Structure 1
Amino acid sequence: MSKKTSYLLGILITIIIGTLLYCYLCDSCHCFPGQEASAPVENNNNVVEAPEVKQVTKNAFMISDANGDFNIETNDNFNFKTSNFSILEPISEKITEGTLKLKDYLTNSSLKAVNITGYYRSDETNNSAYPNLGLARANSVKNYLVSQGISSKQINTNGELNDDINPDDESTLYGPLKFGVLTLKEGEKDEALEAACEDIRKNPLVLHFNTGQAQINLTTEQRQKIANISNCVDHLGVKVQIVGHTDNTGNAENNVVLGQNRADFAKTYLVSNGILESNIETSSKGPYEPIADNNTEEGRKENRRTVITIN
């Protein structure tokens, strides 16, 4: 075999081996009969899904009477920050105008009442004294209507979970409310309300907290009692009575002052949650009406209490 022939044969063998290696290592190639090309592998490591954009909810201020000729509607409404029950200022002039029309309608129709349902989201924090933020918002609107001359006896408040209301980028909820007009029956009594008020008289709300404490942590049952107290004040015209008590440690006169401070603190808390100051009376019994043995720490703790009831 000549030198030239050997050289050409070496080149041919190199080409054949290179081709075989290429076909063997290439997943997407099918050089041989029956060889299937494998699907290309997609690299999703860099794929970023766009965040879901929720449309901001803007409910109009609408009140109509299905059994009468009253109807108002405006795109403005009462607005709130998320996890808050204070109405955002300023309140639109159109809302004020609509409120005055509602006042005239209710004044001339004693058997009519406006029903306010406040909405709240499940991801909001309830910092109010009420069972939920929706009810707290409805009570804030109620107080505004009362300030405009509408009788609280013609206002009903409710709270309702509604995760379909969406705030804007600044956490503002526009009109998380629903309004309606109810027609009452002449002489009809709200037996459920009267029963709730009587229960408050028999089983007052009792709070235990330390002087200087800035927040009152309420149980679910206590929140409902405050909601019931608010309803009793609004619809039956009763007053809230708050009495502060102490144990017998220290000077008796100083304890009377301490009891009054506790009662006043509870009053401030209720006022901040929408119960009008003029409807609350406070007093102190100091150490003079113990309910437990002052000779034990547990007994003294029980005696350091603030009792909230209605007359």
Structure 2
Amino acid sequence: MSKKTSYLLGILLTIIIGTLLYCYLCDDCYCCPEEAVTTEETNTIVAEPEVIEATRNGFSLSDANGDFKIKINDNFNFKTSKFSILDPLSENVTAEVSRLKDYLAANPLKTIDITGYFKSDETNNSAFPNLGIARANAVKNYLVSQGIMAKQINTYGKLNDSINPDDTNTLFGPLEFGMLTAETDAKDEALEAACAEIRKNPIVLYFNTGQAQINLTAEQRSKIATISRCVDKLGLKVQAIGHTDSSGSAAKNMELGQDRADFAKDYLVRNGILEANIETSSKGPNDPIADNSTKEGQAKNRRTVITIN
């Protein structure tokens, strides 16, 4: 090999080695073919919103000590934060209620328990301690309207956050039904004692005649539930009695007291107490509980008392 050829080969080898070293040491250099370059792709996964199916509870009731049974897909339905039964009821429900009426009439020692469900995120605008009891009471009132005896129905409320409404805020059958058989038609001494306590410590409301809403305390809501049971089980009546202060004429105050009693009655009817079970009267200024010579005393005398007799 001639010196010239050796010289050229040396130059070529130097260029090759230099190029390889340059590619190896330079991070930003593109020395490889484009298809040989490995790129890392980042995939962004967008989570779809969770679809929660509406809970659908059918009307289910059976007598463990008899041969009566109801099991259908339809039921009593409600809007969220409401306690009025949605219309129309299905023909299946009305037909089963008719069978239930006949069965209870033939078996007077049988009672049914109605437990209404409510969710913790619902707003309770009823007069009852919770929406569950209010819903159970609405179903009870419907059953009574169909001829079932109120004393054969017990109502309860229960928190149940596992029930879900549909996209129209409808709760399908947020209820549970049960049936019991009493050994005898014995008196409920505990209930009688609770009714006597209501007579001693009735609900007293202070409000203006033009007021559009009554806001009950938790204690007053509990008393409403007790009053409802006293009416259903013992056949008692609710009494709403209106009172006024002594300012103005006696005749005008008697009318004003009646207006206040009627306002309380309308409120109770809207909240599920049957109108036929409520009596109203006025005592006007004739039964003061405070001194009418002071504004504070007059405010205490302008009241409505809700009790039972």
TM interval, short-chain normalised? 0.7 to 0.9
Using the alignment, how far apart are the partners of 1:169 and 1:87 within structure 2? Answer: 18
Amino acid at match of 1:201: R
What residue is the counterpart of 2:46 in the other structure? 48
What residue is the counterpart of 1:37 in the other structure? none
Write the deviation string for residues 148-200 of structure 1: whole angstroms up to 9, x where unpaired: 10000101100111111111010001100111111112142222211111111
What residue is the counterpart of 1:35 in the other structure? none
- Give the C-alpha shift of residue 54 in structure 1: 1.6
Query: Quick one: percent identity of the two aligned structures?
Result: 66
Determine if the alignment matches structure 1 residue 302 to structure 2 residue 307: no
| Equivalent residue in structure 2 for 1:194, among 167, 192, 205 | 192
What residue is the counterpart of 1:163 in the other structure? 161
Map 1:48-67; keep pairs closer than 5 Å.
Answer: 48-67=46-65
Amino acid at match of 1:22: D
SS at match of 2:85: coil
- 2:109/2:185 contact within 8 Å kept: no
Using the alignment, how far apart are the partners of 2:264 and 2:183 within structure 1? Answer: 37
Map 1:79-158; keep pairs closer than 5 Å.
Answer: 79-158=77-156
Using the alignment, how far apart are the partners of 1:15 and 1:248 within structure 2? Answer: 111
Amino acid at match of 1:119: Y
| Equivalent residue in structure 1 for 2:27, among 22, 36, 51 | 22
Query: Structure 1: any 5+ residue segments left out of the alignment?
Result: 1-8, 25-39
Amino acid at match of 2:254: V
Using the alignment, how far apart are the partners of 2:60 and 2:170 within structure 1? Answer: 19
SS at match of 2:121: coil
Using the alignment, how far apart are the partners of 1:16 and 1:210 within structure 2? Answer: 96
- Give the C-alpha shift of residue 11 in structure 1: 11
- Give the C-alpha shift of residue 110 in structure 1: 0.9
- Give the C-alpha shift of residue 252 in structure 1: 2.5
Amino acid at match of 2:55: T
SS at match of 2:27: helix
What residue is the counterpart of 1:276 in the other structure? 274
Amino acid at match of 1:118: G
- Give the C-alpha shift of residue 13 in structure 1: 7.7
What residue is the counterpart of 1:265 in the other structure? 263
Amino acid at match of 1:297: K
Amino acid at match of 1:247: D
Map 1:170-185; keep pairs closer than 5 Å.
Answer: 170-185=168-183
How big is the alpha-carbon RMSD for the aligned residues of Structure 1 and Structure 2? Answer: 2.4
- Give the C-alpha shift of residue 223 in structure 1: 0.2
Amino acid at match of 1:80: F
Amino acid at match of 1:123: D
Using the alignment, how far apart are the partners of 2:212 and 2:183 within structure 1? Answer: 44
Relative distance call for 1:41 and 1:111 in structure 2 (3 A) is same
Amino acid at match of 1:179: F
SS at match of 1:230: helix
Using the alignment, how far apart are the partners of 2:106 and 2:198 within structure 1? Answer: 33
Relative distance call for 1:12 and 1:247 in structure 2 (3 A) is farther
Using the alignment, how far apart are the partners of 1:164 and 1:89 within structure 2? Answer: 24
Using the alignment, how far apart are the partners of 1:68 and 1:212 within structure 2? Answer: 53
Write the deviation string for residues 6-45 of structure 1: whole angstroms up to 9, x where unpaired: xxx9999898667534179xxxxxxxxxxxxxxx7968xx
Amino acid at match of 2:232: D
Write the deviation string for residues 226-258 of structure 1: whole angstroms up to 9, x where unpaired: 001011000100111110011122233222111
Using the alignment, how far apart are the partners of 2:192 and 2:48 within structure 1? Answer: 54
Using the alignment, how far apart are the partners of 1:192 and 1:147 within structure 2? Answer: 27
Map 1:211-222; keep pairs closer than 5 Å.
Answer: 211-222=209-220
Using the alignment, how far apart are the partners of 1:17 and 1:256 within structure 2? Answer: 108
Write the deviation string for residues 244-292 of structure 1: whole angstroms up to 9, x where unpaired: 0111222332221111111000000101111111111101111111101
| Bigger Rg, which one | 2
Query: Structure 2: any 5+ residue segments left out of the alignment?
Result: 1-13, 30-39
SS at match of 1:22: coil
What residue is the counterpart of 2:227 in the other structure? 229
- 2:118/2:157 contact within 8 Å kept: yes
Equivalent pairs, count: 291
Using the alignment, how far apart are the partners of 1:230 and 1:120 within structure 2? Answer: 19
- Give the C-alpha shift of residue 52 in structure 1: 2.0
